Amino acid sequence: MKKLLFLIPLLVLIPLVYSGCSRDSQASYNLEQIYREEGVPVKTVKMQPELFETWLSYNAELTGIEESSAHSMVLDMVDSIYVKVGDFVQKDKVVLGFPQDNPSARYHQVKVAYENARTTYERIKSFFESGGISRQEMDNAKAAYDVAAADWDSVRQTVEVRAPIEGYVTKINVQESDNVEPGDVLFTISQTDRLKTRVWATEKEILSIREGQKASAVWNGINLTGRVVQVDMALNQDRKAFGVVVEFDNPGSRMRMGVIVDVRINTYRNTGAFVVERKDLMKGGDEYFVYLATDGKAEKRKVVLGRQQGLDVEVADGLDAGDELIVEGQMLLEEGSRVKIVE
């Protein structure tokens, strides 16, 4: 009796399983029949030449095309700051001042010595021109004056710190009354109409980079255009990479310096390329092929691949303008399959 009770569910289950398999087989058969009669539904894209580019991306810090910082040469307190960040200054303009009574600067002593040497030289030069003294005496006075002038200029630069280059004040590291030591950075002057950066390329990447290639830098929606100006020929042993210098135009000084930007170097450009997505490629052995819709049937076409960028692949050979590339439904196809193009 127990065996009979066990068999009853099995006898009920077997017809249900058989019925389900039968329905699946029938559905599969019906689908295959529809594909044979009406064609496999596919979507296509008409091939046309288009722009294809490849690039390498890096994150890097932007600096001025020329940038220079001034350092303190004395131990003292900042007395005056004559500019603010963003001001344009000419080379040698006084930007910051220290007290003139700093003993280590010897400001007043050197000034007096310079003025005395200048007065002496001018007087002796006048006597020489009137024939009153020899050239040797005039030359000695001129030499003493030149030495005093150089000392005076050096002392003035110690107390009156000047802009080392022409450009914009991009950073002031001190405030009035701050105490500084020799070597402390006081301020930075930069030329901001052009910017530059250095990126580091791997051994593989450097093979695609050369001088003159176009580049771009993007930060907070600001996009600058530029080009590669230097490609190192030797590997940097610390970074295990090759340095690449890129310069950018910065009209209106729109881009700030010191920011980390997304740098993109264009390594290849083809304005007449046939481009497919990686998903549209099929592989058989070492060869690639695509399916085209030709006269209502699937045509299996071998293609030769070129360069790749992201999901896009350049087809170097195998496609022509006007070819109907199948981009959906290709997994159900084989050579000669009937196809039905759907929107």
Distance CA 177, CA 70 (A): 18
Burial call 182-214: b when 16+ CB within 10 Å, e when fewer: eebebbbbbbbebbbbebbbeeebbebbeeebb
How many degrees, rounded to 5, is the angle at CA 316 between CA 314 and CA 322?
A: 85
> Chain-centre distance of CA 121, in angstroms?
57
Distance CA 72, CA 70 (A): 7
Q: pLDDT digit string (tens) for 315-332?
A: 999 999 999 999 999 998
pLDDT of 9 > 50? The answer is no
| Whole-structure pTM value | 0.66
Distance CA 119, CA 103 (A): 25
Q: Tokens representing 314?
A: 């350049």
pLDDT band at 114 (very low <50, low <70, confident <90, very high): confident
Residue 10: half-sphere exposure toward Cβ, Cα within 13 Å: 5
Q: Tokens representing 67?
A: 């940038």
Which residue from 171, 152, 159, 189 is spatially nearest to 72, judged by alpha carbons?
159
Q: Which run of H or of E encompasses 154?
A: helix 135-159
Q: How many helices (H) and strands (E) does the chain have?
A: 3, 21
Backbone angles phi, psi at 32, to 5 degrees: -65, -40
Question: How long, in residues, is the chain?
Answer: 343
Distance CA 200, CA 60 (A): 9
pLDDT band at 31 (very low <50, low <70, confident <90, very high): low
Average pLDDT over residues 29-35: 67
Q: What is the DSSP string of 18-70?
A: HHHHHHHHHHHHHHHHHHHHH-EEEEEEE---EEEEEEEEEEEE-EEEEEEEE
Q: pLDDT digit string (tens) for 44-78?
A: 999 999 999 999 999 999 998 888 999 998 889 99
CATH topology for 69-187 is OB fold (Dihydrolipoamide Acetyltransferase, E2P) (2.40.50)
Average pLDDT over residues 120-133: 84
Q: Tokens representing 24?
A: 């699946």
pLDDT of 17 > 90? The answer is no
- The letter for the amino acid at 10 is L
Helix, strand, or coil (residue 207): helix
Q: What is the pLDDT of residue 29?
A: 52
Q: Give the pairing of strands 297-309 and 312-317.
A: antiparallel
Is the Cβ–Cβ distance between 277 and 236 less than 8 Å?
no
Q: What is the pLDDT of residue 11?
A: 41
pLDDT band at 7 (very low <50, low <70, confident <90, very high): very low
Q: Give the pairing of strands 214-219 and 260-277.
A: antiparallel
End-to-end, the C-alpha distance of the chain in Å comes to: 63
Which residue from 279, 247, 271, 201 is spatially nearest to 53, judged by alpha carbons?
271
Is the Cβ–Cβ distance between 339 and 298 less than 8 Å?
yes
Distance CA 150, CA 64 (A): 31
Which residue from 291, 285, 278 is spatially nearest to 318, judged by alpha carbons?
291
Q: Give the pairing of strands 179-180 and 94-97.
A: unpaired
As a whole number, the mean pLDDT across the chain is: 88
> Chain-centre distance of CA 216, in angstroms?
6
